[in-house]
Amino acid sequence: MSDVFGVGVIGAGPVTQAIHLPTLARMPDRFRVTAIMDVDEPVAESVAGRVGARHSTSADDLIGDPGVDVVAVCSPHRFHAEQVEAACYAGKAAVLCEKPLALTVADAERVAQVSRETGVPVIVGAMHTFDPGWLGAKANWGDLQETVRVVNSSIVLPWNARYEDWATQILRRPPPGEPVADDALSRSVAVRDAVLGLAVHNLPHVRHFLPDVESVDWAESVDPYGYLVTIRGGGIIARLLGNMHGYWKPSWTLDAWAADQSLHVEFPPSYVQAGSSVATLTSDTQTRRFGGVEANGYEAEWLRVWELAAGIVPQGEDLQATVDDLIYAVRIADAAADLVRGEHARDRVR
Amino acid sequence: MTEFADRPHLVTLPSGPAHRDIAAALASLPRSFRPGAGEDAIVYVTGDDDWPASVEHALSVARRAIVVIQPGYAQPSTVLRLAERAATDSVPVMIDYAFASNPAVVLAAAAWSAAVEPTGILDVTSRHAGDGTGPMAVLLDQLAALHSLVGPVRTIRQLHIDGDAHSAVVAIPVGGGVITATLLGARTELGSRGSRVRWLGPTEALELEVPHAGTAGPGYSRHVTTEGEQLAPTIYENAHRATLARLSRHLEAGAGRCDDLTTLAGHLELVPREHPSRSASQRTSDQRAN
Ligand SMILES: NC(=O)c1ccc[n+]([C@@H]2O[C@H](COP(=O)([O-])OP(=O)(O)OC[C@H]3O[C@@H](n4cnc5c(N)ncnc54)[C@H](O)[C@@H]3O)[C@@H](O)[C@H]2O)c1
CATH number, domain at A147? 3.30.360.10
DSSP 8-state class, residue A180: P
Examine the pLDDT at A2 and tell me if it is beyond 90.
no
At A255, phi and psi to the nearest 5? -125, 140
The answer, yes or no, to whether ipTM is higher than 0.90 is yes
Q: Say if residue A47 is in the same domain as residue A158.
A: no
Q: Say if residue A139 is in the same domain as residue A260.
A: yes
Q: Which residue has the higher pLDDT, B188 or A174?
A: B188
Pairing mode, strands A261-267 and A251-257: antiparallel
User: A98: Cβ below 6 Å to ligand 1?
Assistant: yes
- As a whole number, the mean pLDDT across chain B is 89
User: A296: Cβ below 6 Å to ligand 1?
Assistant: no
The predicted structure's pLDDT at residue B282: 31
CA–CA distances in Å: residue B252 to residues B245, B247, B248 = 10, 8, 6
Distance CA A225, CA B105 (A): 29
Q: Say if residue A116 is in the same domain as residue A159.
A: no
Tell me the chain A residues in contact with residue B272 when contact means C-beta distances shorter than 8 Å.
none
What is the pLDDT confidence band of residue B281, given thresholds at 50, 70 and 90? very low
From the list A156, A157, A127, the residue with the least C-alpha distance to A275 is A127
Chain centroid to CA A126: 3
Q: Say if residue A166 is in the same domain as residue A186.
A: yes
Mutate to test the interface with A, among B166, B184, B220 (most CBs of A within 10 A): B184
Number of domains present in the structure of chain A = 2
Name the packing angle between helices A105-118 and A80-89 (round to 10°): 10
Examine the pLDDT at A282 and tell me if it is beyond 50.
yes
Average pLDDT over residues A30-43: 98
Q: Which residue has the higher pLDDT, A116 or A314?
A: A116
Average pLDDT over residues A136-148: 97
From the list A172, A182, A183, A220, the residue with the least C-alpha distance to A199 is A220
Distance CA A91, CA B228 (A): 50
* Partner-chain residue, chosen from A149, A152, A223, that has the shortest CB–CB distance to B164: A149
User: A72 has which bridge partners?
Assistant: A9, A96
* Partner-chain residue, chosen from B158, B162, B186, that has the shortest CB–CB distance to A257: B186
Examine the pLDDT at A15 and tell me if it is beyond 80.
yes
8 Å CB contact between A259 and A216? no
CB contact (8 A) between residue B205 and residue A223: no
Tell me the chain A residues in contact with residue B225 when contact means C-beta distances shorter than 8 Å.
247-248
The predicted structure's pLDDT at residue A337: 97
Q: What is the Cβ-side half-sphere exposure of residue A94, based on CA atoms within 13 angstroms?
A: 27
A239 touches chain B (CB under 8 A): yes
CA–CA distances in Å: residue B45 to residues A302, B39, B96, B134, B136 = 61, 15, 10, 16, 17
Q: Say if residue A18 is in the same domain as residue A157.
A: no
Q: Say if residue A149 is in the same domain as residue A201.
A: yes
CB contact (8 A) between residue A247 and residue B226: yes
Examine the pLDDT at A214 and tell me if it is beyond 90.
yes
CATH number at residue A58: 3.40.50.720
Q: Say if residue A136 is in the same domain as residue A276.
A: yes
CB contact (8 A) between residue A257 and residue B182: no
Domain annotation covers residue A350: no
CB atoms closer than 10 angstroms to residue A18: 24
pLDDT, tens digit, for every residue of A231-272?
999 999 999 999 999 999 999 999 999 999 999 999 999 999
What is the pLDDT confidence band of residue B161, given thresholds at 50, 70 and 90? very high
The predicted structure's pLDDT at residue B275: 56
The predicted structure's pLDDT at residue A76: 96
Distance A248 CA to ligand 1 centre (A): 24
- B19-55: buried (b, 16+ CB within 10 Å) or exposed (e) per residue? eebbeebbebbeebbbeeeeeebbbbbbbbbbbbebb
Examine the pLDDT at B290 and tell me if it is beyond 60.
no
User: A125: Cβ below 6 Å to ligand 1?
Assistant: yes
Nearest-atom index, ligand 1, CA of A16: 16
8 Å CB contact between B232 and B222? yes
Q: Say if residue A136 is in the same domain as residue A58.
A: no
Predicted TM-score of the model (pTM): 0.94
3 state DSSP class of A311: coil
User: A153 has which bridge partners?
Assistant: A240, A254
> Domain residues for A68?
5-126+301-315
Examine the pLDDT at A301 and tell me if it is beyond 90.
yes
Examine the pLDDT at B5 and tell me if it is beyond 90.
no
Domain annotation covers residue A53: yes
Q: What is the Cβ-side half-sphere exposure of residue A335, based on CA atoms within 13 angstroms?
A: 17
Q: Say if residue A146 is in the same domain as residue A279.
A: yes
Share of residues in chain A with pLDDT > 70 (%): 97
One-letter amino acid for residue A163 of the chain: Y
Distance B158 CA to ligand 1 centre (A): 36
Least confident of A90-104, A304-318, B31-45: A304-318
Domain annotation covers residue A159: yes
Q: Say if residue A58 is in the same domain as residue A143.
A: no
Domain annotation covers residue A227: yes
Contacts of A298 (CB under 8 A, 6+ apart): A19, A20, A23, A125, A127, A273
The predicted structure's pLDDT at residue B22: 96
Domain annotation covers residue A321: no
pLDDT, tens digit, for every residue of B97-108?
999 999 999 999
Contacts of A202 (CB under 8 A, 6+ apart): A128, A153, A155, A240, A254
What is the pLDDT confidence band of residue B256, given thresholds at 50, 70 and 90? low
Examine the pLDDT at A229 and tell me if it is beyond 60.
yes
Domain annotation covers residue A267: yes
Distance CA A165, CA B259 (A): 52
8 Å CB contact between B82 and B261? yes
Average pLDDT over residues B206-220: 95
Distance A13 CA to ligand 1 centre (A): 5
Domain annotation covers residue A264: yes
Domains of chain B: 3-98+241-289 (3.40.50.720), 103-237 (3.30.360.10)
Domain annotation covers residue A141: yes
Q: Say if residue A161 is in the same domain as residue A195.
A: yes
Q: Which of A38, A195, A244 to mutate to test the pocket of ligand 1 (most atoms within 8 A of CB)?
A: A38
Q: Say if residue A78 is in the same domain as residue A178.
A: no
The predicted structure's pLDDT at residue B280: 40
Q: Which of A36, A40, A71, A74 to mutate to test the pocket of ligand 1 (most atoms within 8 A of CB)?
A: A74
B230 touches chain A (CB under 8 A): no
Distance CA A57, CA A37 (A): 5
pLDDT, tens digit, for every residue of B143-160?
999 999 999 999 999 999
